[in-house]
Copies of this chain bind each other. A is one copy, B any other.
Amino acid sequence: MHDVVRRPTIIDVAKKAGVSKSTVSLVLQNSPLVRAETRSHVREAMAELGYVYNRAAANLRSSNAGLIGLVINDLRNPFFTQFATSLQMALSARGYAAVIANTDEDPTLQAQVVEAMIEHGVSAVIISSTYGENGGAFEALGRAGIPAMQVLRKTNAHVETFPFAGPDYLEGGRLATAHLLEQGAKHIAFVGGLQGRDVTRERMEGYLSVLQESELEPVVLTGRSSRSFGREMARRLEKEHPEVDAVLCFNDQVALGLLSGCAEIGRRVGRTFRIVGFDDIEEAAESWPPLTSVRCDIAGFGQSIAGTVLDWLENDKMPAPETRTPVTLMVRDSSNRDS
């Protein structure tokens, strides 16, 4: 209706080039079977006709449509945005397209989008899952038998089927806490992160283990991982825990919120009140004071996941059940100098 003239097919190309459609198909696949001269004839015919490859048709016979599903629990969060973007671009560079869906931490929605992706014939799925009743999505993936990889959050225990990869959160918690101790902090709080979640547990465990070694008492204020929560905590810490002189935040959102909150109540950040974030999103370097943060190299992580999944898909190389990527600490002024 928008296009009265139907798109040319390999048959049209074959006619134009004076070969059979099989030959055209072989050219399309860069098969070495067809000789250079024929190949260029065919390519010319394609160009003249404005031929475009129909992957859906190809997929019908051969599978591997070149579509990868990417399911993200919170795409508005810069940490996940940066992951999704770098992953998508890496896939694109290798000739794959990404169907991306945000689930807003809703398991029901997650099950729906996964089912939809399977209908669309995605060849693999990469999922940063919701917590809670998320069985639906994994069940559907299992039934469909397509490679599916858990990233960033391990919410399904069957890592032999759904291998997991994520940053070494525990080590990150350790690094950050050790750094604060070195800087002379005496009372270090852990702020943010919903209780009971694996990611919170891991990050906190690193913190707790270092405190324990130093025989220091932990102060834990779990909660949402949002800026507004961080901001509220500035006041609360000052009032209820005036002795706290350093904070390890669950993530950068909380830390940036805490930074705002300190500005709001006029509390200096730096030597007297040190703040460390987690994830090192791009913004961390741009705040004032610049935020010390545990760097997960999320862009590099996204790229490497693209490689892992395509290796699984193309070469049947199943990833290890669990992969932890190294983290480092980016020390900036928020934990270091007064400002």
Contacts and interface: CB of A to CB of B under 8 A. Distances in A.
Contact of A119 (B54, B115, B286): B54
* Centre residue among A60, A75, A95, A115 by max chain B CB count within 10 A: A75
Given A121-B56, A143-B50, A260-B287, A97 B89 contact: no
A92 B119 contact: no
Choose among A76, A78, A104 the residue with the greatest number of B CB atoms under 10 Å from its CB.
A76
A98 interface: yes
A308 interface: no
A195 to B, nearest CB: 23
A42 to B, nearest CB: 17
A178 interface: no
Contact of A3 (B85, B102, B146, B261): B146
Contacts of A39: none
A324 to B, nearest CB: 25
- Looking at A78, A101, A117, A259, the one whose CB has the most chain B CB atoms below 10 A away is A101
Nearest to A263: B288
Interface in A1-21: 1-3, 5, 7
A119 B53 contact: yes
Oligomer: number of copies: 2
Nearest to A318: B2
B55 A121 contact: yes
Interface residues of A, number: 68
Interface string A256-286: 1101110110000000000000000011001
Given A98-B100, A228-B286, A286-B260, A120 B316 contact: no
Contact of A52 (B101, B109, B115, B288): B115
Interface string A239-265: 000000000000000001101110110
Contacts of A102: 85, 88-89
Contact of A1 (B60, B66, B84, B316): B316
A60 B119 CA distance: 14
Contacts of A1: 316
Contacts of A60: 56-57, 60
Nearest to A5: B145
A65 to B, nearest CB: 6
Nearest to A312: B2
Interface string A192-228: 0000000000000000000000000000000000011
A102 B85 CA distance: 7
A181 interface: no
A321 B324 CA distance: 50
A112 B92 contact: yes
9 contacts: A2-B147, A52-B143, A55-B119, A56-B121, A57-B60, A78-B81, A88-B101, A92-B112, A263-B289
Given A50-B143, A88-B101, A92-B101, 14 more contacts: A1-B316, A3-B144, A54-B119, A55-B121, A56-B57, A56-B60, A75-B84, A76-B81, A76-B85, A78-B78, A89-B102, A97-B99, A98-B99, A99-B99
